[in-house]
Structure 1
Amino acid sequence: MSFDEVFLEELAAPTKNSVVGGPFGSNLVSKDYVSKGIPVIRGQNMGGRWVGGEFVFVSPEKADSLNPNKARPGDLVFTQRGTLGQVAIVPMSPYSEYIISQSQMKVTLDSTKADVNFLYYAFRSPEQLEYIKNTAIQTGVPHTNLGILKKTPIRIPSLGAQRKIAAVLGSFDDRITLLRETNATLEAIAQALFKSWFVDFDPVRAKMEGRAPEGMDEASAALFPDALEESELGWVPKGWRNVSLKEAVSIHDSKRVPLSGQEREKRRGPYPYYGAAALMDTVDDYLFDGVFLLTGEDGSVADTNGYPIMQYVWGKFWVNNHAHILQGKDGVATEHVMLAMQRTNITPYITGAVQAKLSQTNMWRINFLKPTREVAEHFAALLEPLFVRFRHNAEQAQTLSALRDTLLPRLISGQLRLPEAQAATEAAVGGALQA
């Protein structure tokens, strides 16, 4: 397979405004945003293969005044400043046009020369990311510009080969997306069940009204009381208690060991190394083995709405000293704790004017509605198959992501022949479909 090297501008459509940046300066500011209309593509809409997420909008009239800055389905959008190297495709739906923000650039490709999916993956390759990094303007906030983008060299094969390569890589992303959507559905089922039992008290209210709880067998229904009683925090099912979170979880903070960046560099390995809010690295050993809930102790503690930043983790891993390490106890599942915390605003428990902190002492002030042990164990039994599947799907997605990232640079550069890549893809993705 032969490849030609061209500049990106040579692949742009031969039309006006096929390669443009966002509106200049005051042409688009926050006061222009309205509740609905034409969506604006900003950095937070650029996290994946497709432009998406939560949008802000401008009126159709404002959008028409920014007509040169419009992006449409099939366009490629690039980050100009901020997280350099981001690239995403404008999807076919749900919107027919967008406005790009001041920090983005868009390219409309000539479909007779280039396949948009191939170009997306080409710009995801290590070689292209390194080029973007090396050509960035370092004055002030690192950034790039249209001139640099237009003159970015790209190696491309024939249009047919581009489409085949993109199809191979796209099959991985399609399967990964499906796995993640399935996990979102599994978590939504768990959240709905939690709300029914522990927020709305549906089984209890049904029994109070002389009805059988919906979708529940007689033995399960017998676990629930048939009355509410008043507590210091409101009405709760009889026999249930509002307690300190400490009565529902065990904490393993004493086992934490922070490792500096230099230490981690020397200790590369297969085990995840977690910080307060995210996976930070991998190391050669582990401190924990099992299913745990991590919640930030300092730094990244809560989101903008005051809800805790948490990580549901499992297997063998290491944690630094910026996250609390929790597990459910006394019949309460770790997932039960997670579902309860997801609905808990922790703003009253956070301290620190400069850096947010959720101390262990303050965390124990968080309220937890603790049912009888029998109800907690029954809920845990219902959650278990949901989260076994959730963990399996997440592991499959991680495996497919790693294989895609291994194949990507070799395919984009022509080092790997298409038949070999297609066979590897069929084995990996086909296996994931059957699992």
Structure 2
Amino acid sequence: MTDLVEPIYGGLPDNWSLTTIKELVLSCDADIQTGPFGTMLHAESYVPSGTPVVAVKHLGDNRLLHEDLPRISPDDCERLSRYALCEGDIVFGRKGAVERRAYIKSSEEGWLQGSDCIRVRFNRNNISPKYISYVLGSSAYRKWIERNAQGATMPSLNQEIIGRIPLPIPPLPEQRAIARILGSLDDKIELNRRMNETLEAIARAIFKSWFVDFDPVRAKAEGREPAGMDAETAGLFPDSFEETELGLVPKGWRVGSFEETIELIGGGTPKTSNPEYWNGDIPWFSIVDAPRNGDVFVIDTMKMITKRGIEDSSARLLPRGTTIISARGTIGKCALVGVEMAMNQSCYGIRGKDNRGNYFTFFAVRNLVSELQRSTHGSVFDTITRETFIRVKSIIVPFELTQKFDEKISSFMERIIMNLQESKNLIAIRDFLLPKLISGELVNDCSVAKEVI
């Protein structure tokens, strides 16, 4: 049946085969499992601590996203054991972002696939799951899945569609070699991601210590020197508290509207029907471009617009260091602008007034997200408006301290953006090599690919 497989990867070497996941299932080299029915796994079954359950929202680019994972008890885990994931499984989403998939790592073995997922498991004696996971990241595959997914409004997948996915299969040693080459790039990208998480956590901890827990004030009130702080910075903190509507705050600081401390910037969308406005060199931010919490910055976007698109719309260029917050739909997602860009009208750009630090403003906004969400407007769906920022109360921190905070964490934040840029370059190299490797173009000389790395 190989001659019926759509040849989306171009010509292949003679010793390669072109097959489908269905053919691999029939030859016992693969197995497909749809997640449990919704009646088998209810939201009320989730517990604070237990086995994670993977939903479509947890599928990233060949990896699982570990944020907000629901969990189930040992009893439910045993009852649903047929849906347990193993290292090397590849998990697809049944609805929504059907081009995404996740390769299950050893540390994720035993987690459960949710009802909106489909997993494929391969016979490792003949197939390298890691190799297959990279094939499923190729532009040829992405175009194929977009054409074949069902549903104009909400694309969806099922076992039949997944069974028809075309796969180029080289001999097993070559599969493993290709996976090793691409995996070395992913390892570097993952290392940068973990480093960014650590750096962001340090910066966030300093913000919390200074401006939420008021540790320097408490230290001075007890006659101690604030830890990890030079004398000039320590001198900017008072040594006592006073009562306010928000509770005890450092003496001399006051409570006011958060809107007092910030400048709000609106966004816009150039007419999508005019090609002169799109595919330019100006990044255009929308909610899909929001970074993971650890990455903080956004340096690249899915869509780009032109200078003409800026001029003929309400979109504005946001300078580096501007905070972006999503205001409609998925509200409260935050990002720091890493390169000059525009954004759509579902977001606000935020800059501090009176020389308040850019990094301080970002962490202050993120610290108030829950309060902003509680104060949203909208009869149909929640929306953050300018009125929301006026109604939300916050502690007005002296601008000199916000600048000192920025100085304190600037090296961490600059390292984060450097790591992001390096990862962006590594992704470009990976995506350049990927089609050449899975089409067999570089298979006879993998050293060329290693030299590129």
Query: What's the TM-score once normalised by structure 1's chain length?
Result: 0.85
Which residue number in structure 1 is paired with residue 337 of structure 2? 313
1:370 is displaced (CA, Å) by 2.5
**2:87 corresponds to 1:87:** no
Larger mean Cα displacement after TM superposition, 16-25 or 354-363: 16-25
- Alignment partner of 1:284 is 2:310: no
Q: How does 1:215-364 map onto structure 2 within 5 Å?
A: 215-253=228-266, 256-263=267-274, 266-275=277-286, 278=289, 279=301, 281-285=303-307, 287-300=317-330, 302=331, 308-344=332-368, 345-364=371-390
Alignment counterpart, residue 402 of structure 1, candidates 402, 418, 428: 428
Distance in 1 separating the partners of 2:248 and 2:77: 51
Preserved contact between residue 32 and residue 120 of structure 2 (Cα < 8 Å):
yes
Quickly say closer, same or farther: Cα 1:72–1:325, change in 2 above 3 A: same
- For residue 209 of structure 1, the aligned residue among 222, 234, 243 is 222
Instruction: Provide the C-alpha distance between the structure 1 equivalents of 2:52 and 2:405, rounded to a whole number of angstroms.
Output: 42
Q: Which amino acid aligns with 1:281?
A: K
Letter matched to residue 221 of structure 1: A
Check conservation: 1:294, 1:311, Cα contact below 8 A: yes
Report percent identity of matched pairs: 30
Q: Which amino acid in structure 1 is aligned with residue 326 of structure 2?
A: G
The residue that corresponds to 1:422 in the other structure is 450
- Distance, in Å, in 1 between the alignment partners of 2:55 and 2:86 is 15
| AA aligned opposite 1:332 | R
Question: 1:161 is matched with which residue?
Answer: 174
> For 2:87, which of 57, 73, 84 is the aligned residue?
73
| Contact kept in structure 2, 1:51 and 1:88, CA below 8 Å | yes
Q: Structure 1: how far apart are the matches of 2:279 and 2:90?
A: 35
Q: Does 1:55 align with 2:81?
A: no
Q: Which of 78, 85, 101 matches 2:114?
A: 101
Distance 2:215 2:153 in 1: 57
- Where in structure 1 do 4 or more consecutive aligned residues deviate above 6 Å? 13-17
Tell me, yes or no, if structure 1 residue 387 matches structure 2 residue 413.
yes
- In 2: Cα distance, 1:61 partner to 1:142 partner: 34
Letter in 2 for 1:371: V
Is contact 1:292-1:312 (8 Å) kept?
yes
Judging changes above 3 Å, is the alpha-carbon distance between structure 1 residues 207 and 167 closer, same or farther for their aligned structure 2 residues?
Answer: same
Deviation at 1:59, TM superposition (A): 4.1
How far apart are 1:32 and its partner, in Å? 4.4
* Cα distance between partner residues in 2 of 1:178 and 1:314: 20
What is the aligned residue count? 416
The separation in 2 between residues aligned to 1:154 and 1:276, in whole angstroms, is 32
Choose from 376, 384, 392 the match for 2:402.
376
Q: What amino acid does structure 2 have at the position aligned with 1:295?
A: I
* Structure 2: unaligned runs, 5 residues or longer: 1-12, 290-300, 311-316
Q: Judge which range, 126-135 or 12-21, deviates more.
A: 12-21
> Aligned with 1:188: secondary structure?
helix
Once the two structures are superposed, residues 267-292 of structure 1 have per-residue CA deviations (whole angstroms, 9 ceiling, x without a partner) of 31222112366345112336233321
Distance, in Å, in 1 between the alignment partners of 2:341 and 2:275 is: 13
C-alpha distance in structure 1 between counterparts of 2:277 and 2:397, whole Å: 47
In structure 2, relative to structure 1, the CA distance for the partners of 1:114 and 1:342 (3 Å cut) is same
- The structural deviation recorded for 1:33 is 3.9
For residues 215 and 411 of structure 1, what CA distance do their matches in structure 2 show?
50
1:228–1:275 CA distance, 2 compared to 1 (3 A): same
Per-residue CA deviations over 1:383-413 (Å, capped at 9, x if unaligned) read 2222222222222222222332232222212
Unpaired runs of 5+ residues, structure 1, are 303-307, 426-435
For the aligned residue pairs, the C-alpha RMSD in angstroms reads 2.8
TM-score, normalised relative to structure 2? 0.82
Match of 2:148 in 1: 135
Offset at 1:9?
A: 4.1
Note if contact 1:276-1:298 (Cα within 8 Å) is conserved in structure 2: no
Q: What is the one-letter code of the residue matched to 2:367?
A: R
- Answer yes or no: is the 8 Å Cα contact 2:282–2:306 preserved in 1: yes
